[in-house]
Amino acid sequence: MRRVEGVAEGRRFLSNRRSPLDSELPESIRASILKNFGKELSAIDVAERIISDVKASGDAALSHVSEQIDGLALKFIEVSRSDIDGAAGQLEQVTLEALQLAASRIEAFQIKGRPESWYDDSTNLGERVTPIGRVGVYVPAGTAPLASTVLMTAIPAKVAGVDDLILCSPAPGGDLPHPAILAAAKIAGVDRVFKVGGAQAIAAMAYGTETIPAVDLICGPGNVFVTAAKKLVFGDVGLDGIFGPTETLVIADDTANAEFNAADLIAQAEHDILAMPVLITTSAKLADAVDAALETQLAERSRALVAREAIDSNGAAIVVSTPQEAVELANLMAPEHLCLTVRDDEQYLPGINSAGGIFIGEYSAEVLGDYVAGPSHVMPTSGTARFTSALSARTFLKHTPIVEIDSGKMIEIGRHAAELARLEGLDGHAEAAEIRLRELVGE
């Protein structure tokens, strides 16, 4: 793993990270774009064309794009209720038990954090908390069925009180999405499932087709074209976020278990060659031990080629002098996952203010967060943890202020509103207050 010495070099390394849509597309994808569209296009350009087609032609565009890009004939779009209900029977019992355990822990966590409406009788002010009407979940289906993502997105929405929850997930090489996807959808309370993927699924959920209803908010991860489509439809529909490749930052000191640290870095690096695995440590000796453990463990991993490229291209071991320097760099990176394996976490934790999720201690493995800990694994990437949070029930709730002013309070505060309105040159605003004051107290 690349070695970076000192906080200044660490800042330089972390500041070079690009946004998810700025990375150059792999040659194979560029060739596919040229073949399908007749010219070289960016991911945004491709998504824009697909969205335009879906808006214009609905289901017909979904079928055309699916066959053109994915080589899949879309014989039908909606998965039947009987197929959803029967999917669990196709899974091993141990798999079903794992899904059910994860679901129960996710639900319990989300219930604890769900905001409630409030009203203060002493001030006659309050806030109504109401769920979004219809939500669309997107779950990709590349090399493996991401059943956990169904749970991690749909259950928070249901806990929030969303009544109408749909799911789009492709069915590569088959007539139906993987049975684990469908079983997870049933467990999570998804209402309807559509076997559509890619930017076309995002377009369909944003604007609606003859079969797929338009939603109010779209959530879930996806490839660069899904990400581009989400960015383009934002404003017409709400989003959980714009997600880039996964990131893990491990902060460790000389007491940390190097084997554990290496395993956590590989666990995220194996997702994608663009993944970003970073170690920050106050111990050069620990950095050496993690390097050695990486080599040993990579030799045994089935996705070693992907993980190694991510580590070599985007990873680093940054050696700093103090916990304070480690915290400074952690906040600069604002990572999706932050694993804290140190002697005294209180030297670090109070200063950390930008991370998607924090995993404290040797046994709080980030992989537990991916599947069964409880919080959603849909977390902000690409530094967006500086201003946004992990997906939760709060993502699917609207907060509406309530103002109920009586005549006495109008007399008390109305003239101040009028004063500020006249300061801003808005005499119509001022009159809306003063006409009431005149009725109450005269000229």
Kindly list the domain boundaries of the chain, sorted by start residue: 3-18+244-373, 20-241+392-404, 405-441
So what's the pLDDT on residue 410? 95
What are the C-alpha distances in Å from 124 to residues 117, 132, 424, 433? 14, 25, 27, 18
| Mean pLDDT, the chain, integer | 94
So what's the pLDDT on residue 438? 95
For residue 36, what pLDDT band results from cuts at 50, 70 and 90?
confident
Any catalytic annotation for residue 337? yes
How many residues in the chain?
443
Beta bridge partners of 134: 164
CATH code at 20-241+392-404 = 3.40.50.1980
Instruction: Tell me whether strands 337-341 and 164-168 are parallel, antiparallel or unpaired.
Output: unpaired
Active-site pick, 107, 247, 270, 337: 337
The larger pLDDT score, comparing residue 351 to residue 145, is at 351
Helical residues (DSSP H) of 245-365, grouped into ranges: 258-269, 284-298, 304-314, 323-333
pLDDT in tens, 159-196: 999 999 999 999 887 789 999 999 999 999 999 999 99
Judge: domain 3-18+244-373, CATH 3.40.50.1980.
yes
Active-site pick, 107, 270, 336, 434: 336
So what's the pLDDT on residue 324? 97
Beta bridge partners of 228: none
For 419, the 3-state DSSP assignment is: helix
pLDDT in tens, 53-100: 999 999 999 999 988 887 777 889 999 999 999 999 999 999 999 999
The span from the CA of 132 to the CA of 262, in Å, is 41
Beta bridge partners of 125: 120, 403
For residue 274, what pLDDT band results from cuts at 50, 70 and 90?
confident
Report the percentage of the chain scoring pLDDT > 70.
99
Is residue 198 classed exposed, middle or buried when 0-12, 13-18 and 19+ CB atoms within 10 A define those classes?
A: buried
pLDDT in tens, 91-140: 999 999 999 999 999 999 999 999 999 999 999 999 999 999 999 999 99
Any catalytic annotation for residue 271? no
Please tell me if the domain spanning 3-18+244-373 has the same topology as the one spanning 20-241+392-404: yes
- Region 306-321 average pLDDT: 95
Report the percentage of the chain scoring pLDDT > 90.
87
